[in-house]
Amino acid sequence: MTPKRATSLAAAALLFLCGCIFTPRDPDGPPEGDVTDWETPISTDIVLKNLKAAFEGEGVQNYRDCFTDSFRFHVDPVDSLDAGQEGEDRYANWTREDEEHAANGVFGDASDIALAFTTIQEPDEAGYDTYRIEDYELTITFDSGEADEEVTYGGRASLHMRRDNTGRWAIYRWVDRRLTEDSPPPTWGTLRGDYRD
């Protein structure tokens, strides 16, 4: 067999294989209820709106799309220290995949989710990189069998966002801090840590 013929056969086999494994599934049908809550994130306000809608609506892909590929979450040092021996592993190198996995775990256990942001510092969206500071209150009703359990998480998040070449904003860094009150509620960071394997 000549090299040209071998190459042609290999390329033909690859193309045939591609046709078999690159066919996406058909959806079951049109939506039963509401249509999409997702808005094209042309401002940081819309990123927060999408994040709230995705978390409350338990839409894991829309939630994931609020973050960039290089996303990193930085927990409050006290949350890491409070976790004792597990603390160092629990929060180290937190990526978008960890964020998606933790959100998916919460969605599996929650019967109701309510999220509210209060803006502490407005962003400057003139450039391609900005940050905004938000206080959040996240109330989750956990479906724990006979009686549901409601837990409220609160904290201050510095959300660093980046605008891509098409004008879409997404979060690339989340710095989580406890509130300064004497008995602050648990942060979203502790909730994330509970869902890291």
Partner 1 sequence: MLLLSVAALALVAAPSVAQDGDGRDSDQEEEQEQEEQEEQEDEGTGLFDGSRRGGFVPEFDPEFHPTYKLDFKRDQDVSTWTHNFKMNYSFTPKVAFTAGSNIVLRENEALNRVNRNEKWNAGLSLALSSAISTGIKFTRSDQEDVRNPGKDNEVRTFRERESFNLTTNYNKTLLSGIGVILGANGGFEKNKYSNVLSRGSSQGVTAGIEYDAPLGLSTRFQYSGQHSLLDSEQGALESKDESFDHSLTGHMEYAWLGNAFLVDVRRGLSSTEYPKEEQTEHRRADTEGLSMSADVGLVENLTSTFNLGYTRSKTSYRLEDSKDNDLKTRNVQASLSYSLGATDFTAEMSSEKKRNEYYDVQTGDQYSNAFGASVTHEFGEELSAVLRGRTSLLSHHYDDTEGNDQDRDLFDQEVTLNVDYDPRADISASLNVKVREDNLIYIRTSRTGDNKTSQTYSVKPSITKSFGDKITATQTYGLSADYTFYTYDPDSNFLIRNFSVDTTIDWRPFSPLRLTFSHQYRSQDEGSYVEDENGIEQYGKNSQRDDNSLELGVGYKLFGLVSLSLSQTLSMQKRWTIVDDEKQLSWEKFDTTLKGKANANYELESGTTVKFTLGRIYRDATNITDRQREVWDISLNIEKEF
CB of residue 185 to partner 1, shortest distance in Å? 15
Is residue 40 within 8 Å of residue 53, measured between CB atoms? no
Segment interacting with partner 1 (CB under 8 A) among 98-106, 111-119, 146-154: 98-106
Q: Which amino acid is at 36?
A: T
Nearest-Å Rg of the Cα atoms of the chain is 21
Interaction of residue 49 with partner 1, rule CB under 8 A: no
Looking at 10, 12, 116, 151, which residue binds partner 1 (CB under 8 A)? 10
Q: Which two tokens stand for residue 135?
A: 């206080």
Interaction of residue 52 with partner 1, rule CB under 8 A: no
Is residue 151 within 8 Å of residue 106, measured between CB atoms? no
Closest Cα partner for 78 from 155, 151, 136, 131? 155
Where on the chain is the footprint of partner 1 (CB under 8 A)? 3, 6-7, 10-11, 14, 17-18, 21-25, 27-40, 42, 59-62, 72, 74, 77-78, 81-82, 84-87, 92-93, 101, 104-105, 107-108, 121-122, 124, 126, 131, 133, 156, 158, 160, 165-168, 173, 175, 177-178, 180, 182, 197
